[in-house]
Structure 1
Amino acid sequence: MSTTTPQAAATTAPTPPPLDGELRIEVVVVPVSDVDVAKEFYAGTLGWRLDADFTLPDGLSVVQVTPPGSPTSVIFGRWISAAAAGGTDGLVLAVRDVEQARTDLAERGVDVSEVFHDAVGAFHRAGEEGRVAGPDPERRSYASWASFQDPDGNRWYLQEVRERRPGR
């Protein structure tokens, strides 16, 4: 019995030219159920900078926080996302030393996983399948992880990046 592999289409669409200018992620919206609880977690427990906190007369509320050293901020509030609270899984924070970052979070009272790496050295998988305890044995960038959740269950990952790949 032979197995066939699907072949690439004979014709492919032309590659569009690169966009002019830069495209940077400025803000990530995180859906939460209680704005005050989320603000206490992100600005209080985690110590992220509180950039904005306002409520309009119609009830719309917006809180913006920024992790230390990050060019990207996080926004949550009332009526700013149709996503279910706690429905975000896979937000990644780059850290130089995942073990130290994990310790810092634990000392702040955050329930953070142990450090882990993927069994085959890939990006972590959904859930806990393929996880091996401890950092990547070679301490390669992009290969060691820890995770935590906010009060609603939005899952964040710490990814150890000791040296960036060229082009960043």
Structure 2
Amino acid sequence: MSSTGTSTSGAAGSPPVEPGQVRLEVVVIPVSDVDRAKSFYESLGWRLDADLAVDDGYRVVQLTPPGSACSIIFGTGLTAAAPGSFEGLQLSVYDIDAARADLVERGVEVSEPFHDETGIFHHAGTRGRVDGPAPGHADYGSFVAFSDPDGNGWLLQEIKTRLPGR
């Protein structure tokens, strides 16, 4: 196995999975151009964990968003899903306005903040979107949306205080 580069700088690690726990570790993202996707996600400030060219036609790239225990993986020979076919990939942030400003500064095309007309989560696509953050920036209610170069759709959700038990 040959490596085209790996990095563990800044990796704090996490405790091992304990009996009875189930953790979401990795989400495989379908992309058409591995190097373009790698560049995009690195431009967001995500940590490059691995870039492994295992053999011809099989490459694994793993990146992790800042503070996340879950990573994304993409590459070649990893999924039969069509590039850009994922939607609703969600990240939690403390301040939706600051997170949006950071994405804009990084050159990402990102929506204005919105909330759903129901006040609960959000509908698929753009249905039910109301301009502006949730009233009073209510936790779990404010979102912004952006896509990677293939069109995989991401959402940022503002959460300052988690619900009990979360």
**TM-score normalised to structure 2 length:** 0.87
Find the counterpart in structure 2 of residue 145 from structure 1.
Answer: 143
Which moves more between the two structures, 105-114 or 126-135? Answer: 126-135
Amino acid at match of 1:119: E
Which structure has the larger Rg over C-alpha atoms? Answer: 1
Q: How high is the sequence identity, in percent, across the aligned residues? A: 59
Which moves more between the two structures, 118-127 or 97-106? Answer: 118-127
**TM-score normalised to structure 1 length:** 0.86
Report whether the alignment pairs 1:66 with 2:64: yes
Q: Which runs of 5+ in 1 are unaligned?
A: 1-19
Deviations along 1:21-62, one digit per CA (max 9) or x if unpaired, are: 11110000000000000000001x211000000112232000
Amino acid at match of 1:120: T
Match among 73, 76, 80 for residue 75 of structure 1: 73
Deviations along 1:96-151, one digit per CA (max 9) or x if unpaired, are: 01111001000000000000001120111112111111111121111000000000
Find the counterpart in structure 2 of residue 93 from structure 1.
Answer: 91
Report whether the alignment pairs 1:84 with 2:82: yes
Task: Using the TM superposition, give the Cα deviation of residue 80 of structure 1 relative to its aligned residue in structure 2, in angstroms.
Answer: 0.3
Match among 135, 143, 152 for residue 154 of structure 1: 152
Distance in 1, matches of 2:71 and 2:149, equals 18
Match among 157, 163, 166 for residue 165 of structure 1: 163
Match among 76, 100, 103 for residue 101 of structure 2: 103
SS across alignment from 1:138 = helix
- Count of matched residue pairs: 148
Amino acid at match of 1:110: V
Amino acid at match of 1:79: G
Distance in 2, matches of 1:120 and 1:126, equals 13
SS across alignment from 2:57 = coil
Deviations along 1:59-88, one digit per CA (max 9) or x if unpaired, are: 200000000000000000001011000000
SS across alignment from 1:36 = helix
Match among 51, 54, 57 for residue 52 of structure 2: 54
Amino acid at match of 1:36: D
Find the counterpart in structure 2 of residue 24 from structure 1.
Answer: 23
Q: Which runs of 5+ in 2 are unaligned?
A: 1-18
